[in-house]
């Protein structure tokens, strides 16, 4: 899909749009920070022994009462907010990426099958997709999360929270991809080269994966980029409502939920910084995704 020259083209094109370039730079920075959190973060919020209750509720270091050790202040447990943010960003991004990967995998497989096999398999899959489309993804994720949680023993829910959220988001989003892939497959399947390789006796799987799939990937890639932003937002919303990531492994949404309680009491930093990071992250993903869509898939414009 993207050879080296293709990639270089994209980069040159990006350079002509400062907003996109800026967004891409910010996104890159955020991803690096998230990936490097274990090395860069001033402290590890999951290392409970390092927390000191007497350092709790400190404001950012430049404010009155701030402490130089805690640049952005501390939360109610005395955890460094900057470190919490870096790890939270890491969690949000990981959940978003994995959830989209899951949606893409499910959607790609089912879409390929539906588009290639047609017949009853097609009907079944696309009906299921239609049905799922009638329900908003956010509510669906809430339901799937609730169901998955309730099927686990009480003591394991905390550890499983991460996977439950990924599963809930992933399942609630696959139909978009399935529809897209199916349409692409149907249009590709009619083309001469597929006919030719079919006549030459290639197996179905070979045709699907060697020919049809690579040619349907572009729109999927674009949609997946946009979907990452959506998944991150949905995860944050779930966590804000208290049905997503728990406070012991907080995502940005969890940090906002916890911080919301302090909004009126003057400890604004506990909620303001996570909100800022979340919005920055989603905006930059969306700007880059939007641009990619314009470049790669003019049909969707």
Binding site for another protein (CB under 8 A): 19, 47-49, 51, 53-54, 56-57, 76-78, 127, 130-131, 133-136, 138-139, 143, 146-147, 150-151, 154-159, 229, 233, 236-237, 240-242, 246-248, 256, 260-268, 271, 275, 278-279, 282-283, 285-287, 290, 301
**What count of Cα atoms within 13 Å lies in the side-chain half-sphere of residue 169?**
32
**Strand pairing partners for 74?**
80
Query: CB of residue 190 vs another protein: minimum separation in angstroms?
Result: 16
CA angle at 86 for the pair 39 and 267, rounded to the nearest 5°: 135
DSSP-assigned letters across all residues of 12-71: HHHHT-HHHHHHHHHHHHHHHHHHHHHHHSSS-TT-GGG--GGGTTPPPTTSTT--TT-T
Gap between the Cα atoms of 71 and 73, Å rounded: 6
Closest CA to 292 of 4, 32, 11, 3: 11
In the chain, which ranges are continuous DSSP H helix? 4-15, 18-40, 81-117, 119-133, 137-150, 157-189, 192-199, 204-206, 213-241, 252-260, 269-296
**Strand pairing partners for 59?**
none
Gap between the Cα atoms of 174 and 214, Å rounded: 19
With tokens 């404001």, the residue in question is 59
Gap between the Cα atoms of 225 and 192, Å rounded: 31
Phi, psi of 77 (to 5 degrees): -100, 0
């Amino acid at each position: 899909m993207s050879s080296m020259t293709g990639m270089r083209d994209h980069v040159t094109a990006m350079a002509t749009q400062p907003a996109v370039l800026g967004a891409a730079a910010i996104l890159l920075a955020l991803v690096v920070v998230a990936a490097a959190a274990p090395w860069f973060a001033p402290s590890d919020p999951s290392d409970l022994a390092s927390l000191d209750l007497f350092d709790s509720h400190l404001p950012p270091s430049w404010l009155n009462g701030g402490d130089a050790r805690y640049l952005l202040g501390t939360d109610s447990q005395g955890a460094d907010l900057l470190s919490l943010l870096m790890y939270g960003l890491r969690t949000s991004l990981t959940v978003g990426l994995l959830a989209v990967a899951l949606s893409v995998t499910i959607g790609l497989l089912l879409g390929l099958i539906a588009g290639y096999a047609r017949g009853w398999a097609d009907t079944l899959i696309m009906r299921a997709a239609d049905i799922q489309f009638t329900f908003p993804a956010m509510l669906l994720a809430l339901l799937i999360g609730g169901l998955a949680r309730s099927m686990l023993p009480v003591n394991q829910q905390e550890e499983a929270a991460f996977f439950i959220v990924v599963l809930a988001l992933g399942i609630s989003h696959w139909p978009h991809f399935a529809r897209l892939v199916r349409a692409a497959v149907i249009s590709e399947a009619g083309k001469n080269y597929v006919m030719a390789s079919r006549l030459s006796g290639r197996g179905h799987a070979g045709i699907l994966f060697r020919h049809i799939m690579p040619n349907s990937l572009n729109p999927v890639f674009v949609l997946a980029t946009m979907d990452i932003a959506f998944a991150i937002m949905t995860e944050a919303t779930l966590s804000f409502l208290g049905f997503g990531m728990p406070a012991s492994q907080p995502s940005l949404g969890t940090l906002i939920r916890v911080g919301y309680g302090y909004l009126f009491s003057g400890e604004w930093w506990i909620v303001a910084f996570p909100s800022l990071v979340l919005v920055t992250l989603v905006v930059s993903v969306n700007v880059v995704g939007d641009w990619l869509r314009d470049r790669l898939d003019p049909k969707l414009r």
